A and B are shown apart, each in its own frame.
Chain A
Amino acid sequence: MTAQAPPARPPRAFTSDLSIDELLLVEEVGFEPVEFVFGTSYFHTGWVPAAWTENFELTQVSAMMLGARRVAMQRLLAHAQQLGADGVVGMRLDMEREGHNAEFTAYGTAVRRRDGKGAAWHDRHGRPFTCDLSGEDFWGLVRGGFRPLALCHGVCVYHVAHKSLGAWFSSLSQMTMNMEQPQFTQALYDARELAMQRMQWEAGDAGGTGLVGVEVRESSHGWEGHIIEFVGVGTAIRPIDDATHEVHEPPQVVLFAADAPSPG
């Protein structure tokens, strides 16, 4: 199949990990699921020597942890593109660590525009969009007049100083005192900001005007406790330019008949 051929309906059934509600909502805004896609990458996270008494970023490790995620996502995207998909919804990235090796897996459901005008939904580089939105959130976003562009990541792996012997002795004399530890505050604050800043760059590069659902996660991945990885994750979005796009009505106040509000 050439890239220019009109997307003919594949003879086989689609696969997806969408729930029934999600499927109906994705269909409702003019998309159809194509296939459940995934991409993996296997990385050696390595041994990081760390007995320094300084706070600093391990830039190479940061680059590697970001690279590993990117490779997994690129493979998923390549698969989606091959299928003629216009985007991926419900994307998530898992990491499984075995000793010093880590496997990154990206999953999601590739979807395609039913009217064949999917190109308007691609990101700034013409790639299908990716997002970690559920079918419900995807529907809400599109009905609200926005479209997702890309799931963006920013990574910063940071080494927190070990206390020197002198510092340890002076900490004895401070034992009873309440005080902020500015050097540590500064270090971790800065590391989180770096992760978020890099995620923002990625979103800007995809052509986004903003990011929703941002989370900053932290983990030591079984490295020594002084090394912490900060990862910012969020979905870049931008307004839909199409003037004919139908934006939904203001929300209504609703009382549920059940005691607990239904999910969503």
Chain B
Amino acid sequence: MANQRPQAQPQQPQPLPQHAIERIQGMRGAQGQRFFTSDLSVKEYLLIRESGFEAAGLVMGSSIYHVGYQRGNWSTNMEMNVLTQALYHARELAMARMEEEAHELGAHGIVGVRLKIRQHTWSTDLLEFIAVGTAIYPRDDKQNWRAPNGRPFTSDLSGQDFWMLLKSGFRPVSMVVGNCVYHVAHQTLGGWFKTVGQNVEMTNFTQALYDARELAMERLQYEAQSDGASGVVGAEIFEWTHGSWDPHVIEFFAVGTSVLPIAVTEALPTPQLVMTVDS
């Protein structure tokens, strides 16, 4: 069960809004007349070019999602699968749209992907999921940097990290995520009496949070493996609770970039020691 992705359906190409299509056409331009936008800093932009890539354009996807209601059992540690599914599916939709924008741009991948969740004041039961990143393509059009499934690769790497990763002989495959919404049991009165005034580990709570994190990471790992990647770099695990949830309900969200070794690697130059003058 833990090995299942919360949602089994394959990622469908998502339809794009009218202005997205117009904007992408504007960036593709006529033959050889590309125009790019990017949220890369100047340094990142230069490093992307240094790695043999060009920025294709800023790409974005969004999904406004109604997250269903699920009641957690007061005294039980349990995963809230309805909420896990909702948050996973909504992110997937936003990311699939962003990927579709990159695909339309003819890009081979997306760097610097950021996932954001917003709650708007006008409707508290809706959450907006936004994915933003910069689509890039190799200057040498004989190269193919797309993910094994033929879609653009995705990664949350900065321009600096991307450059370093390539230099050290790896390429990004996809941004992988795993999540788990967990209900942490309330302590029973009996349990409170047993532990009051003592130094003791709250095994109940430890186990719940430990388990939830492991589930999120396991799913992230599963995503990476099914993408055919050899590993995940920069994995991070976040936890947050949504404003209108019971505070005992927590989402653990793991995100990272899966990578594959490149056949031909140039040796990474030996790092040099530099002492900066400013503190």
Contacts and interface: CB of A to CB of B under 8 A. Distances in A.
Contact of A250 (B50, B55, B125, B272): B50
Contacts of B50: 250-251
A225 B121 contact: yes
B26 interface: yes
Interface string A117-156: 0000000000000000100011011001000000000000
- For chain A, give the interface size range: 35 or more
B271 A253 contact: yes
A226 B122 contact: yes
Interface stretch (B40-48, B217-225, B250-258): B40-48
B276 A258 contact: yes
18 contacts: A140-B46, A144-B46, A177-B66, A178-B65, A179-B65, A179-B66, A180-B90, A184-B126, A189-B60, A190-B17, A194-B19, A196-B23, A209-B36, A210-B36, A210-B37, A225-B120, A225-B121, A255-B271
Interface in B48-63: 49-50, 55, 58, 60-63
B19 A193 contact: yes
A77 B67 CA distance: 48
Contacts of A188: 62, 64, 128
B159 to A, nearest CB: 11
Q: Taking chain B's interface residues, is the majority helix, strand, or loop, or is none over half, making it mixed?
A: mixed
A89 B70 CA distance: 53
A7 interface: no
B122 A214 contact: no
Interface of A: 21, 133, 137-138, 140-141, 144, 160, 162-163, 171, 174-181, 184-186, 188-190, 192-194, 196-197, 199-201, 203-204, 208-216, 220, 225-226, 228, 234, 250-258, 262, 264
B278 interface: yes
Given A196-B37, A252-B269, A180 B63 contact: yes
A42 to B, nearest CB: 27
B68 A175 contact: yes
B43 A178 contact: no
Interface size class of B (residues with CB under 8 A): 35 or more
Contacts of A200: 23, 26-27, 35, 37
Nearest to B118: A218
Given A204-B35, A220-B121, A178 B66 contact: yes
B151 interface: no
